[in-house]
Structure 1
Amino acid sequence: MHKNILHKHLGESFKNLPPLLQQAHSGDIHLHGSVVVKRGNLLANLIANIIKMPPANSNCNLDVYGSHNEDVMKWQRHFENHVMESTFRLQGDYLTESLGPINLLLKLSIINNKLIYNVEQSSIFGITIPKPFQPKLTAFEMEYNGLYRFHVSINLPIIGLLIGYNGDLHIT
């Protein structure tokens, strides 16, 4: 099997991912389905708009186009008419995610057949955010009844929910 950056980051534990998740993180992929997008209060909504997060939508069509290579992984998410793109690269023992002005230093793990994303450090516009002020990310992927199930929730200190989105997607 060709070792892309996610495989390199997870090492031999990549083989412990459910087959559907291995497929979702190999080569060029397309995921599609319906998801729920939630946003927080007025201030959170303003921040989400500034950093170009998708709008709230209780029944949003989502198409995800992924490309997984040896040195880079790209995911382009189409929340109906809103596009959000992430670029992932290896940085030592970590995976970095660049999402517009935001950079996350991630450590991924597999727990109970779920791929869990843990943020070790974050920055915005190149400025490292001190730990007490860092956003709290809850993110996982799993296989559920033959579908790719995911959940992402970002909470800010004091403000609360910035954005959350989750759903079940088909791999084509």
Structure 2
Amino acid sequence: MTRPPPPATLFQRLLAARFDALPPSVRALHQGHGRRRYHGKVEVDRGRGVLACLCAWGARLPRAGRGAIQVDIDADESLERWSRAFPGSVMRSRLWMRDRRLCERLGLARLAFDLGVEELPGTGNAIVWRVASVRVLGLPLPRHWFRGVVAREYERDRRYRFDVAATLPVVGLLVHYRGWLDVH
């Protein structure tokens, strides 16, 4: 007797047929259910101004540093809980789908992202996250403030890689973190 296929994951549902066009390590990170743990390396830069520090604190963004990262993901069909242990800080978030967008609760902020699959020069296809809306303490903020917020997940040298940057008008750099995880 053959078993039915496991239910689609959050990212499989959001990306639909585009999910299959992703490199193996990116698919591997986003196609499992249950609890998983990944290890890798990360570099984090943070803005230093008062407004940048206040915004980063409100979103619980990681501190500046370099070193090991541990990412724990607990996923079911409709919700993923992520815990990212950076050098000197931990960033936790919850992810779910609403209105065909990926939503993320991060500290005091709730963000909605449009996910795309785009070819990055020298790396192949990548998941690209672009901000569609932001609410802080339930209040909507202007979308154009967040044009400088983008995340990319891709593969280079058969290794899963991430690059997340957040820059706001007037405030400047909030955070830029990038690195890799072993997902196999």
Is 1:38 the counterpart of 2:50? The answer is no
Alpha-carbon deviations, 1:36-84, whole Å to 9, x = none? 1101132212432343222111x23110011232111221101134211
Partner of 2:155: 143
Q: Does 1:49 align with 2:54?
A: no
In structure 2, distance between residues paired with 1:144 and 1:73:
25
72 and 50 in structure 1: CA distance in 2 versus 1, 3 angstrom threshold: closer
Q: Percent identity?
A: 30
Tell me, in whole angstroms, the C-alpha distance in 2 between the residues paired with 1:62 and 1:101: 23
Give the secondary-structure state (helix, strand or coil) at the position aligned to 1:54.
Answer: coil
Whether 1:93 and 2:97 are equivalent positions in the alignment is: no
Please say which structure displays the higher CA radius of gyration: 2
SS of alignment partner, residue 70 of structure 1: coil
Alignment of 1:117-136 (within 5 A): 117-134=129-146, 136=148
Amino acid at match of 1:54: P
Structure 1: segments with no counterpart, 5+ residues:
none
Q: Find the partner of 2:13 among 8, 18, 21.
A: 8
For residues 112-156 of structure 1, the C-alpha deviation after alignment (integer angstroms, 9 at most, x for no partner) is: 111100111111111110234346312100011121111001011
2:170 to 140, 158, 166: 158
Aligned to 1:170: 182
Shift in alpha-carbon separation, 1:159–1:63, aligned structure 2, 3 A: same
Residue identity matched to 2:169: P
Q: Retained in 2: the 8 A contact 1:68–1:74?
A: yes
Q: How many residues align?
A: 171
For normalisation by structure 2, the TM-score amounts to 0.86
- Asked if the contact 2:60/2:106 (under 8 Å) is kept, the reply is no
Are the counterparts in 1 of residues 131 and 143 from structure 2 also a CA contact under 8 Å? Answer: no
**Which range is displaced more, 107-116 or 134-143?**
134-143
CA RMSD of aligned residues (A): 1.6
